[in-house]
A and B are shown apart, each in its own frame.
Chain A
């Protein structure tokens, strides 16, 4: 267990991404922007229409910090027209975020319900040293609060560390760290997960096959996340690693600590993003000053790059490749970033005629959400599925609550147009609904169902 715990230590990093919602596009209302935008702003000031509203929820640590970079983009003269398009694209972006969050939750819930490994208590992480097996309620509460304090301080320390690294331009170190943690996630956790799933369904698999499968999965994952790859594949990988991380959390966090940690994380998120001295905010501002893209592997981007309707497909293609190349060069900018794409295509576009530019505007801008957000949403729903005795009702209630919280956060993003934490509202709703459904609704529904009465 010790080694595993150590591993999870480094695993924490990718999970600690800030859940920043970044709007790749300025017009769409629910766009959250990440730091990338600032990078782009530098590039094509005249053409950039992006708003940088990033919502970030600095969830966890280090890696998360990177994702917090929000990039406020300067808008060009087309801003007014963009405003009107905002709400039109608004709903679409919300859905673009709904789908991956839903998928992640479904994966987590399905695994929790079927694979018993993840609900067995086999020890705790090194971050939560206090056990919860104490006889008295007060002692248990105290232990969970202490666990939470330790966990949150670990997260804060890592976040600050990452911000410092970023400030002093130790990019290589950050990249190495990110690569190491994603490597660990992709290989080790997948191996454990696959092993457990195969055990549950009693499917035999020999080691060479297993090795081949995991090797392929991991290698493709590394390439997809850190370099270039098809958008959908990258999204799928990010969802999978978020789900894996959430499963680890569900398994290794003791009961009450998990709930208190969830609450504390959302408060921390709120503070870290909105307070002027908050680490995430500093990260965003620094990134904006430098006009740099965000680190990869920490942000989920829902952006799509369309070349439909482009007057000059060759220039667009060139722009895109140039962009992805620039992105890779920047050290991991997510090539799927819509804004990076836009900025890239725009930067050589200053010499382009306006027509192609206008057609470019039809491209979908995406919204970015930090991976930490995914993880904590899934932890909440997974814990609801694992521990609630009302089973599916509670899970469903938490699911709806989280989605509504996400909607509201996106709405706020549209209104405020700057980085916002995505955790607090959703987690608050989720927690409220979990506890109330478990304790209040469940007896009611059970009684109704036993008499087969309907309301």
Chain B
């Protein structure tokens, strides 16, 4: 579905593609830094201690979430400047791309990159001999991974919209809400392989974020009804 979104909405306009790739780049950089921190922590600690390793992992994940949001903020700043430049240079004084579209594309960039990183090795292994989960892991590994990745991609997209909107209108509570949601989703994955604990809350959160973003983008129940009934 994310790929479909990409094809239909982004592939047409070259500017959006650039913003998307730049968004992916920023996510990548944040991942890099967070894994650097984790790596240092692991190397500095005792490799035998299981709980310590697990604790470090959790710490690494939380830190990574915070870093991702920080980079989202940085990206927002960069995009603001870029859009101002574009507006200044364009003929009729209005920007070729609205801030909301930018938010959407930036969120997509983050989401696609994170989804790609999560899934692609899995997919490559899936093509090979069926050795995943041979140690007694859940049989639903692939399925749940796929769903989780999809929900994460969508979430990133919605968070992008919410985040940028919050930054635009100086509503700090929106931004903190996004951060908390992100932390919650990551935290819920700790319940894996008890999939109930992670997938369901994530989907619920996604639905919340979706409606919120939709409302922020100017939609309303009326629009939705009209769209669905094809008026």
Q: Which residues of B contact A452 (CB under 8 A)?
A: 141, 144-145, 148, 189, 192-193
Question: Is the beta-carbon distance between B148 and A440 smaller than 8 angstroms?
Answer: no
Contact with B along A336-374 (1 / 0, CB 8 A): 000000000000000000000000000000000000000
Contact with B along A418-455 (1 / 0, CB 8 A): 00000000000000010011011101110111011111
How many whole Å from A411's CB to the nearest CB in chain B?
A: 10
B contacts with A, residue count (CB < 8 A): 51
Question: Which residues from B are CB-within-8-Å of A449?
Answer: 118, 121-122
- Known interface pairs A455-B61, A455-B64. Does A92 touch B14 (Cβ–Cβ under 8 Å)? yes
Contact check, B28 vs A400: say whether CB atoms are below 8 A apart.
yes
Instruction: Please report the C-alpha to C-alpha distance between residue A448 and residue B119 in the assembled complex, in whole angstroms.
Output: 12
Q: Which residues in B have their C-beta under 8 angstroms from that of A94? A: 14, 18
Stretch at the interface among B33-41, B70-78, B209-217: B33-41
Residues of B within 8 A of A401 (CB): 25, 28
Mark each residue of chain B from 21 to 50: 1 if its CB lies under 8 Å from any CB of chain A, else 0: 110110010011011101100100000000
Contacts of A91 in B (CB 8 A): 13-15, 17-18
Count of chain A to chain B residue pairs whose CB atoms are closer than 8 Å in the complex: 116
Query: Which one of B21, B57, B68 lies within 8 Å of A404 (CB-CB)?
Result: B21
- The reply to whether A440 and B39 contact each other, CB–CB distance below 8 Å, is yes
Which of B14, B186, B193 lies in contact with A455, CB distance below 8 A? B186
- Does B96 touch A at the CB level, under 8 Å? yes
Q: Look across to chain A and name the residue whose beta carbon is closest to the beta carbon of B11.
A: A95
Q: Do A453 and B190 contact each other (CB < 8 Å), given the known contacts A396-B120, A436-B36, A444-B39?
A: yes
B200 within 8 A of A: no
B124 interfacial by beta-carbon distance below 8 Å: yes
Contacts of B185 in A (CB 8 A): 454
Nearest CB in chain A: distance from B190 CB, A = 6
Stretch from B109-117, B162-170, B171-179 at the A interface: B109-117
Contact A396-B32, Cβ < 8 Å, known A452-B189, A453-B57:
no
A454 and B118 form a contact (CB under 8 A): yes
Question: Is A84 a contact of B39 with CB atoms below 8 Å?
Answer: no
Q: What is the interface of chain A mostly: helix, strand, loop, or mixed? A: helix
Q: Does the CB pair A88–B90 fall under 8 Å?
A: yes
**Cβ 8 A contact of B189, one of A87, A393, A454:** A454
A407 touches B121 (CB 8 A): no
Return chain B residues, CB-CB under 8 Å to A455: 31, 34, 61, 64-65, 68, 114, 186
Q: Which residue of A lies closest to B67 (CB)?
A: A455
Report yes or no: B22 in contact with A407, Cβ–Cβ below 8 A: yes
Task: Tell me whether A310 is interfacial, beta carbon within 8 Å.
Answer: no
- Contact at A433–B32, with CB atoms within 8 Å? yes
Residues in chain A within 8 A of chain B (CB atoms): 83-88, 91-92, 94-95, 98, 390-393, 396-397, 400-401, 403-404, 407, 433, 436-437, 439-441, 443-445, 447-449, 451-455
A-B contact pairs, 12 of them (CB 8 A): A98-B21, A392-B120, A400-B28, A403-B21, A440-B36, A444-B38, A452-B193, A453-B57, A454-B148, A454-B189, A455-B61, A455-B64
| 10 interchain residue pairs of minimum CB distance | A95-B14, A444-B35, A91-B14, A91-B15, A452-B192, A392-B120, A441-B35, A454-B189, A87-B89, A455-B64
